Structure 1
Amino acid sequence: MQQPIIVWDFDGVLNANVIDGRFVWADRLQQDWGIDRTALVAHLFHRDRIGRIMRGQIDLRDELQFWLTDVGHNIDADVFLAYWFANDALPDAKVVCHLERSDATHVIGTNNEARRAAYIERDMGFGSLVSHIFASGRMGHAKPDTAYFRHIETWSGAPAHAHVLVDDTQANVKAACALGWQGFHFTNETRDGLPAFLDQLG
């Protein structure tokens, strides 16, 4: 029997860094750096920019350094990224423990650019917990792009129905299910049902 390939979203699932849609690492930006959170988010996460960052078409560090300099902050982007990534590292132990299940192949499927993907892989140690980390910045595709899911299918060599996406973004789950995957929309309301969902996979 084909073992399921469980594709775990990172932020908001394996990593408990999202509260009420807010990335909590940025809560102390004003106190720690004198940086206006709203202004930073408006620049980096602008709809014409964030998709290109996530797909590796724009380097996050270069874009961040441009913004910091442009608004008058004498801050090195590498130093700021180290702060960002460290404060954004909040593994959810109750979810991460499911990576120990031996009845499935576990991978991470995340919309992260290459720099943070490397931090997740090496510094946070997730590279040793899963078979592979699929990051949009390395792949050139981001969820919910069809090409993102097809890339994972090509890697696994397994049929679509053997793949399972656990993700906190409903649009991603819907896109995966439309391609024949199984899906679990992970929210505060559904998280207690995750063990039972995993138990019935097969």
Structure 2
Amino acid sequence: MGIGVFAFIREHRADDTLDRNPNGCPNPNRLTMTQSNAILGPQTVIAWDFDGVLNRNIVDGRFVWADRFEVDIGHSLDGFEKAIFRNNFDDVITGKVDLRNRLNEWARSVGYVGGVDALLEYWFENDALPDPEVGAVMDTLNDRGFRQVIVTNNESRRATYIEGEMGFGERVERVLSSGRMGVRKPAAAFFALVTETLEVEPGQMLLIDDCPKNIPAAISSGWRAFHFTGDTRHELPLALGLS
């Protein structure tokens, strides 16, 4: 069936700032829309971003799992973020540094005695907020026989949690995470490694992602892309030919 796949390309501005987003995506500013006619055929592979798309855990640029951090954990959230996310977190995201080791360093520095494994469980459980509407789209695509994967900037421990405890391992073909692959979006090498792993051509791939930087990067790699935002989420079924 013929559809229009919408790619929303962000207009970069000089006053961009990063908020508390470990994936490194800036707050959305003005967006422009381009449209390319395409066919969502039987060979198309839908590549879902996880946080902010399948998992509705980001509100106004912040990860809501940490909203009660200071109450529940008893330590400064800002200090935690500086130690974990603002200390070359790319090394964690790409698997060079174990997240558990990074958390252990923070725990020792502040005297946290709750246990690193319990903290990981607290983090992952409170960060597990699957979006039922988007999940329904995924299930419909599965019913229609489309290949689906998750492509996410997450380290390996959380990727395993997404597959197992959150149940996505049974809903997609693969969870392709930066921690396992050693490279993260929006690097061209990430997209190339995905297509190589799946043994497909770039033109077969359709990325659904909320991070503005990843959309042009995917398109430059020969993929098609849908920029998923609060304003565009209702257009997703139509773009996929489901309504």
TM-score by length of 1: 0.95
Question: Are residues 1:26 and 2:66 paired?
Answer: yes
Residue in structure 2 matched with residue 35 of structure 1 by the alignment:
75
Task: Pick which of 50-59 and 93-102 moved more.
Answer: 93-102
Alpha-carbon offset, residue 156 of structure 1: 2.1
Question: Are residues 1:190 and 2:229 paired?
Answer: no
Which stretches of structure 1, 4 residues or more, deviate above 4 A after TM superposition? none
**Contact 1:2–1:162 (CA under 8 A) maintained in structure 2:** no
**1:78-157 correspondence runs (5 A):** 78-100=117-139, 101=141, 102-157=144-199
Q: Distance in 1 between matches of 2:157 and 2:123?
A: 12
The CA deviation string for residues 144-202 of structure 1, in whole angstroms up to 9 with x for no partner, is: 111111111112222111101100101011100111110011110111111111118xx
Question: Are residues 1:16 and 2:62 paired?
Answer: no
Q: Which amino acid aligns with 1:50?
A: F
Question: Are residues 1:163 and 2:202 paired?
Answer: no
Alpha-carbon offset, residue 104 of structure 1: 2.1
DSSP 3-state at the match of 1:6: strand
The CA deviation string for residues 57-83 of structure 1, in whole angstroms up to 9 with x for no partner, is: 000001101111112222211010001
Decide which structure has greater helix share. 1
TM-score by length of 2: 0.79
Q: Which amino acid aligns with 2:220?
A: A
Q: Which amino acid aligns with 2:177?
A: A
Alpha-carbon offset, residue 35 of structure 1: 1.8
Decide which structure has greater strand share. 2
Q: Distance in 2 between matches of 1:41 and 1:188?
A: 26
2:96 to 34, 46, 57: 57
Cα RMSD after superposing both structures: 1.2
Q: Distance in 1 between matches of 2:198 and 2:241?
A: 21
Unaligned 5+ runs, structure 2: 1-40
Alpha-carbon offset, residue 103 of structure 1: 4.6
Question: Are residues 1:6 and 2:46 paired?
Answer: yes
Q: Distance in 1 between matches of 2:65 and 2:85?
A: 15
**Contact 2:56–2:131 (CA under 8 A) maintained in structure 1:** yes
Identity %: 43
DSSP 3-state at the match of 1:11: coil
